[in-house]
Amino acid sequence: MINVKCDIILPVCDQFDFTKNCIDSIIANTDTPYKLIVINNGTNPDTKSYLAEVGNKLKNDFLLIKNPYNFGWVKAVNQGIAASSAPFLCFQNDDTVVTKGWLRKMIGILQANPKIGVVNPAWEGRGNNVSIEKYGNIVEEKYRGRYVETDWARGFSVVFSRSVVDKIGGLDEIYGLAYFDDVDFSIRAINAGFLVVLALDTYVYHHRNVTFFQILKGGKWNELHEKNKLICYKKWGKPLKVVIVLDREACEDRERLNRISDTAYYLARRQQGIRIWSPCDVNQQFYHTNMNVRVCRSVLLL
């Protein structure tokens, strides 16, 4: 068991059933010390009553911040960061369901490698006929302790070390209610020298956009998404697609392959999509979610 505490920052807004399912799963499946910091952006009476019950259960390991109106996801997370004190932090969507040991496994990755600053759980791959709990057990057995470097941590569930916010601060409130704030946070962490990784052995189910689809009806969701995308691209540049073609000589020359690999990682960490065409299997050399290796026995160059 990991004995360091993590502050879980959870903004909620009038989605009682999802909020209850999320918090119930956190209480049932978190086997490492934590404090739950809930930022209530809504007015739902059922949510208010339920949060009072949670506070009575968790006592000193619970903090409720009540906003007079919906401050949005970004500002709420920053409120939680400002109120936190633990060496590890997590921001979590209220439309998620966590699985057994989720937080312990991601903190373990941060502790095992000080270069890693931000960790995302897996959220895809589960079939409709497989329960959330069972799929969590499946990925743990298959990938125990394994992770892969990724471009940015999706904001539905992100665990990071205190040193990250000490160095780069919280979310950039230029993004308003939400969207692309998590991309921006990850890029700033990477530029500050941290690695962002995906924990392959940890599964968190995400319903996706439940609160925002309720708040941002009609075309407002798309308008906000596109507006924030442009803000992010103006700040960091639009992602490119880069193709690297290897010949057999490059595959067999370790020094040359390492130089190519270093360049590929540099580009992938800056959100560029890398496609590697190679006559041999070099997947272990190019192990990043923004890289895709295609083994081609013969490549025609025009």
Cβ-contact 286, 296 below 8 angstroms: no
What are 264-290's pLDDT values in tens digits?
A: 999 999 999 999 999 999 999 999 999
Percentage of the chain exceeding pLDDT 70:
93
Number of CB atoms found within 10 A of residue 208's CB: 13
pLDDT at 209 over 80: no
Average the pLDDT over each of 138-147, 204-213, 236-245 and give the range with the smallest value: 204-213
Helix (H, G, I), strand (E, B) or coil at 39: strand
Find, among 185, 150, 154, 3, the residue nearest to 78 by Cα. 185
Burial class from Cβ neighbours inside 10 Å (0-12, 13-18, 19+) for residue 141 reads: exposed
Phi then psi for residue 98, to 5 deg, are -90, 160
pTM confidence score: 0.92
Summarize the confidence of residues 20-30 as an average pLDDT: 98
What are the boundaries of each domain within the chain?
A: 6-233, 241-295
- Which CATH homologous superfamily contains domain 6-233? Spore Coat Polysaccharide Biosynthesis Protein SpsA; Chain A (3.90.550.10)
What pLDDT, on a 0 to 100 scale, did the predictor assign at position 4?
87
What are 44-61's pLDDT values in tens digits?
A: 999 999 999 999 999 999
Find, among 150, 142, 226, the residue nearest to 187 by Cα. 150
Burial class from Cβ neighbours inside 10 Å (0-12, 13-18, 19+) for residue 27 reads: middle
Phi then psi for residue 225, to 5 deg, are -60, -45
Q: Would you place residue 224 in the very low, low, confident or very high pLDDT band (cuts 50, 70, 90)?
A: confident
Radius of gyration of the chain (CA): 21
- The average confidence (pLDDT) of the chain is 93
List C-alpha distances in Å: 172 to 63, 73, 150. 23, 11, 21
Torsion angle of C-alpha atoms 67, 74, 118, 23, degrees rounded to 10? 40
Summarize the confidence of residues 19-32 as an average pLDDT: 98
Find, among 271, 194, 266, the residue nearest to 237 by Cα. 271
